[in-house]
Amino acid sequence: MSAILAIAFKVLQEAKKTKPALLLFFFVIFLLFLFPFTLKSDGTLNGQIQLFIGYSLLILSLALYSNSIFFSVLSFTSEIKGKQFYLIDCKSISRWQFFVGKFLGMAILNFFALVFMGLILLFLILYIKETQGTAEERADVQEKIFTSYQGIEPHTSMEKLFSMVDKEYQKRKAENRLPSNMSEEEIKSQIKSQIQQQLQVIPYGYQRIWHFHNLPSGLKSSQQKIKLRYKIFLSDAGSSFLCKVYWQAGKGTNLYAVEDKVKAGEYYEFTFPSDTVEENNTLEVHFFHKDEKAGMIYFPIEKGIELFYPYGSFYGNYIKTLLLVYLLSCFLVALSLFASTFLTFPIAVFLGLFILFLGLIAPFLMEISSLGQGIENSEKEILWERIPDILSYAILQASFFIIPDFFYYAPLESLALGRYMTWSIVGESILKLILLRATLFSILGCFLFKHREVGKPLL
Amino acid sequence: MYEVIETVNLSKNFQDFWGRTKAKALDKLNLKIYRGEIFGLLGPNGSGKTTTIKLLLGLLFPTSGKIKILGSSPRSVVCKKYIGFLPEETYLYPYQNAQEALFFYGRLFGLSRSVCKKRVEDLLEMVGLNKARSRPLKEFSKGMARRIGIAQALINDPELVFLDEPTSGLDPIGTREIKDLILQLKERGKTVFLCSHLLSDVEDICDKIAILYGGKIRCEGTVEELLSKKTATQILLEDIPSPLLQELILWLENKGIKPSVEKPRERLETFFLNVIQQARMQQAPTSGATQGIKKENFFSQNTLAEKKEVNPVLAQLVQPVEEPKEACPPGMDQEIKQEEQNTSVDKILLDNLVSKKEIGKKISEEENKESTIAKEQSIKKDMIQRLLGNFMKKDQP
Ligand SMILES: Nc1ncnc2c1ncn2[C@@H]1O[C@H](COP(=O)(O)OP(=O)(O)O)[C@@H](O)[C@H]1O
Ligand SMILES: [Mg+2]
């Protein structure tokens, strides 16, 4: 253990005396200080802080990620290139211990760097919040950013849905409208999605009621505010058309009504007091369609309507965000060290940065790759004709294993939007990034390194 | 005798990307090196000396053949505990200072902090870098770096030390000190594997040498065997008046012997060392390395005894080591020795315990050992009698 710690400690020593890392570090801090005065956004304090949080977190995490790659590779490969590793390898330390030592050193280094930069960032956020804008604006910021919200989707009664599906199925059967080439399951799931779509559509003159279940029990009496966020599409009107909407939250004496004009395809939200929640911790929300010119109103199934109630704190979210960034940086360290075990410095750094880059645009990659995916419903019957498809599918899957979606694992925007970050994402990160990916890369790296002739330069 | 190093038909080829052989660095090398030996591998540049050491340390893998070091493979982490290595160039971290560097290497051996600190102190003193201890290594001259390299090779009190051109970059004093250090290691029963192309180094200290050329051993044996001229005898005389010399020559010629007569020259090394010694006595200032101090108690005598459990060969290696001989290097060492006798408390205690030995009289090793045993036995007897006496008294008040 003392040997591993010695290696880890030397990484820190190295970092302290290596200028590039320090320069990067100070550059980030400089940018952080500069941001509050350059970013103006929409003019409101809220917008400014949101933008500041979003940008500075992005810069901070990118700096940490690229530093993780650059410095891990440098620290590892320079030992071998400079032959200092000869003096280490002839001591009683295994190659895997060297690897683990380097990882540990980088993890500690990243931790301190992140804590340091994180504290500065937090200080700046609080500084802007306390000193800028009017009192009203500050209250707004307090409510929108410094309160963290947990989102919840409306409850759909599955029983009801299935009975509707059954009824429709029987009806079609009676009318002999069932397609012959599909099984009952397939037909039913088709009907189910059709019904779900239909439920989202509201014709003129109708209303739609949503129920939200399982709200926290203290919410009603907490005198806080609840937010409802929604997005609509219109069947008849153009994109610039402003549609009148009427909302009503709650029931009986605790009714809260809102009227607004909204554009199609954009998110809107309104807040209302938490005492609209009922005793059994449910909430009923009504929507009325009274705009004749709008045609039919349609709420998208995905995130068409979402309720947000205060849950957790900004600081909790902040720590979780930094933790997630930290876990990603540790994953990158493992990846870079792995690459260093068999590549030279520039190539290993290139590989690391390339994977970082792909990871940042992972959703985009997944989208294009899913467009081209034809493996399930391929028309080619003969096996060998399908081999290219299968191969490309396998390669894609493998790449997505190597390249995690960085913004999925560290959703930076949640913090600026005041969204509650669950522990489950932290747990998932630890499991999938560290225990699975980083460990696998480390094991592979140790194996390669063990079988490497370090006394000979790489070809 | 057990082999500390054994290679069988060890070969190493360097290949390019396509697997074609670029260089045959070693060709069927067979070595057997025994405990307590100083083995010198001689050879011109590029003959495969460094390659041999790298193979023995597991930095390179053999193309064919077998290696056993301390009874195991060169990759065994356990055995590396007992190995020290000085590479041909001292590959140090420029940002560490002397102290930090040695501490770091000590920690890699799993030594505890306190042990590490103690050893670092001793070694810095031993290699004469006490004053430069907190200067960054990037400021060190080649010779100073070399000294750090030597110190790090000894930090674990190794049983087997590999030295690749240990004296390269060192001044004659440093060279002398290293040679003395190597002899000191031998005294303590350690094995030294030395590579060099400097013949004088090897000649002065090695027990056994092998000459390597083109990856093959061309000649092997003890220095005595290889170098003694069996057909000539040398007589060295005090300066004598020339008539007497003439007479002597005439006498020899009458006997049918034709002598060659010349004034012997002092060796440059000895001469140089004397000059520096004088300068030091005048305390001339220097920012470089100072004189290393011989640390009598730094190296353990019989550490292998604790290492029985490590592996069977190591266990077999546990055998009595010869008592330290008085190493008598020429020249300036007299003074240091004087000093060291004052400081080495253990030695004085030991001497008192063992026998009242007359200063200047050299007791042969056998005698020394016998008298130690005799003395120990008499002490034991004495103690037993006293103990028994106490019992008697208790039993019969
Ligand atoms: N990495 C390498 N690639 C190719 N050839 C090498 C390599 N290392 C050493 N050699 C060759 O092996 C031979 C022995 O080198 P070396 O052991 O360093 O010699 P020396 O006796 O001077 O220490 C030389 O001919 C050298 O060119
Ligand atoms: Mg060499």
The per-residue pLDDT for B260 is 84
- Asked if B279 reaches chain A (Cβ–Cβ under 8 Å), the answer is no
What does the pLDDT average to over B183-212?
A: 87
Mutate to test the interface with B, among A11, A91, A104 (most CBs of B within 10 A): A91
Tokens coding B69: 């070091």
Residue B393 has pLDDT above 70, yes or no: no
Res B367: pLDDT: 52
Question: How many beta-carbon pairs below 8 A join chains A and B?
Answer: 80
Is there a contact between A7 and B54 if contact means CB atoms under 8 Å apart? no
pLDDT score for B326: 42
A20 and B CB contact within 8 Å: no
Taking CB atoms and a 6 Å cutoff, what residues make up the pocket around ligand 1? A 456-457; B 14, 22-23, 25, 43, 45-51
CA-CA distance, A271 to A268, in Å (whole number)?
Answer: 10
| Count of CA atoms in the C-beta half-sphere (13 A) of A200 | 20
Mean pLDDT of A14-30: 75
Is B111 at the interface with chain A, CB within 8 A? Answer: yes
Q: Give the rounded percent of residues in chain A with a pLDDT score beyond 70.
A: 94
Which of A14, A340, B122 has the alpha carbon at shortest distance from A6? A14
3-class SS letters over A196-226: HHHHCEECCCCEEEEEECCCCCCCHHHCCEE
Nearest neighbour of A6 by CB, restricted to B87, B108, B156: B108
Could you tell me the distance, in angstroms and rounded to a whole number, from the CA of residue B106 to the centre of ligand 1?
Answer: 30
Which residue's CA is minimally distant from atom 27 of ligand 1?
B46
Which tens digits make up the pLDDT trace of A332-347? 999 999 999 999 999 9
Residue B121 banded pLDDT, cuts 50, 70, 90? very high
Using the beta-carbon criterion (under 8 Å), do B87 and A3 form an inter-chain contact? no
Beta-bridge partner residues of B23: B14
- Give the atom of ligand 1 at the shortest distance from the alpha carbon of A456: 1
What is the ipTM score, two decimals? 0.77
**Closest partner residue to A87 among B14, B58, B91, by Cβ?**
B91
| Nearest one of B224, B308, B313, B366 to B34, comparing CA atoms | B313
Q: Quick one: pLDDT at residue A213?
A: 87
- What single string gives the DSSP state of each residue in B242-280? HHHHHHHHHHHHHTT------PPPPPHHHHHHHHHHHHH
In angstroms, the CA A130 to CA A387 distance is 62
Fold of B3-308+310-317: Rossmann fold (3.40.50)
Q: What percent of chain B has pLDDT over 70?
A: 71
Sketch the domain layout of chain B as residue ranges. 3-308+310-317, 348-397
Per-residue pLDDT for B360 more than 60?
no
Nearest chain B CA: its distance from A94 CA (Å): 6
HSE of B17, CA atoms in CB hemisphere, 13 A: 2
In order of their start, the domains of chain A are 2-147+313-450 (no CATH), 158-312 (2.60.120)
- B86-113 pLDDT per residue, tens: 998 889 999 999 999 999 999 999 999 9
**Averaged pLDDT of chain A:** 86
* Residue B281 buriedness (CB in 10 A; 0-12 / 13-18 / 19+): exposed
Judge whether B109 is closer than 8 Å to chain A, CB to CB: yes
Cβ A185 vs Cβ A165: under 8 Å: no
Ion ligand 2 — residues with CB under 5 Å? B 50, 88
Question: Which pLDDT belongs to residue B289?
Answer: 67
> Is the CB of residue B192 less than 8 Å from the CB of residue B182?
yes
Q: For the residues A225-235, what does the mean pLDDT come to?
A: 87
Indicate if the pLDDT at residue B346 is higher than 80. no
Residues of A in contact with B162 (CB under 8 A): 90
- B352 pLDDT tier (thresholds 50, 70, 90): very low
Chain A residue at shortest CA distance from B52: A455
Q: Min CA distance, A120 vs chain B (Å)?
A: 29
Residue type, A193: S
* DSSP tag of A292: G
The verdict on B325 touching A (C-beta cutoff 8 Å) is no
What are the pLDDT digits (tens) for B218-253?
Answer: 888 888 887 777 777 778 888 888 898 889 889 999
Residue B123 to residue B298: CA distance in whole angstroms: 8
Angle between helices B142-154 and B113-126 (to 10 degrees): 140
Measured CA to CA, the distance from residue A334 to residue A443 in angstroms comes to 10
| Most confident range, picked from A382-391, B83-92, B260-269 | B83-92
Whole-number Å distance between alpha carbons of B196 and B88: 9
Which of A202-211, A383-392, B102-111, B354-363 ranks highest by mean pLDDT? Answer: B102-111
How far is A225 from A308, CA to CA, in rounded Å? Answer: 9
